[in-house]
Amino acid sequence: DVKVTQSSRYLVKRTGEKVFLECVQDMDHENMFWYRQDPGLGLRLIYFSYDVKMKEKGDIPEGYSVSREKKERFSLILESASTNQTSMYLCASTDRAYSNQPQHFGDGTRLSIL
C-alpha cells in the first residue's frame, strides 16, 4: 500500500516566518504534488514535480516555492508566511508521467499563521 507521509498534522507559525512542509512517499513515484484545501474552493494545485529537481507551477504558486532533491521527498516552502496562507495542505503522489493513475494523498498538514 502506498504511503504518503506529511511531517506534521498541525503547525502554528507567525507572520513573516519561513515555513517548511515536508512530504515523503515510499513507492518510488515520479510525480508529486502540493495542494491547499479550503472550504468552498476545493483543492487547488500549488506546485508539482515530475522528477528530481524538476518543478512546475500549479494554479496558485504565489508566495510558495518547492524543493525536490530526492525522488521520495517533496518540500513546500512558504518564503514569508502570511495569514492568508492559513489552510490545510495536502501532498500527493502518482506513478509515472503522462499517467491517468490515481493520486495517493497524505493526511494533510493544518497550518495556522498568526
Partner 1 sequence: AQRVTQPEKLLSVFKGAPVELKCNYSYSGSPELFWYVQYSRQRLQLLLRHISRESIKGFTADLNKGETSFHLKKPFAQEEDSAMYYCALSARESSASKIIFGSGTRLSIRP
| CA–CA dist 83, 106 (Å, integer) | 23
Residue 106 is a binding residue for partner 1 (CB under 8 A): yes
Q: Which residue has the cell 502570511?
A: 82
Nearest to partner 1 of 66, 92 (CB atom): 92
Neighbours of 11 (CB within 10 A): 16
- Strand segments (E) across the chain: 4-6, 10-13, 19-25, 31-38, 42-49, 56-57, 64-70, 73-78, 87-94, 104-105, 109-113
- Least distance (Å) between residue 113 CB and partner 1: 23
- The interface with partner 1 within residues 7-66 (CB under 8 A) comprises 30-31, 33, 35, 40-45, 48, 50, 54, 56, 58
Nearest to partner 1 of 23, 81 (CB atom): 23
Per CB under 8 A, residues contacting partner 1 are: 30-31, 33, 35, 40-45, 48, 50, 54, 56, 58, 90, 92, 94, 97-100, 102-103, 105-108
